């Protein structure tokens, strides 16, 4: 019983601490787009700022400009 309880508690804490990668904001600027990307691991969330310029109809060239 105790082993099952510990396993359930561990799984719950691990699931609560994980945060999927999300692109939360896209903004059009004069020379392309600015993307905000948030990603997380166990109890930590970090963010990145990307500047993307379109090349053709379906291809973007992106460069990371900032991260924390």
Instruction: Report the DSSP beta bridge partners of residue 64.
Output: 50
Does an H or E element contain 16, and which?
helix 2-17
Give the per-residue pLDDT at 37. 87
More confident residue, 18 or 3: 3
**Is the CA virtual torsion 12, 17, 21, 27 positive or negative?**
positive
Q: Is the pLDDT of residue 17 over 60?
A: no
CA–CA dist 54, 32 (Å, integer): 6
> pLDDT tens for residues 20-68?
678 788 999 999 999 998 887 666 778 899 999 999 888 999 999 998 8
């Amino acid at each position: 019983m105790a082993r099952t309880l510990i396993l359930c508690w561990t799984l719950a804490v691990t699931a609560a601490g994980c945060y999927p990668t999300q692109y939360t904001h896209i903004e059009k600027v004069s020379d392309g787009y600015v993307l905000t990307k948030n990603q997380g691991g166990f109890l930590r969330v970090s963010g990145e700022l990307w500047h993307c310029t379109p090349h053709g109809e379906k291809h973007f060239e992106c460069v990371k400009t900032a991260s924390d």
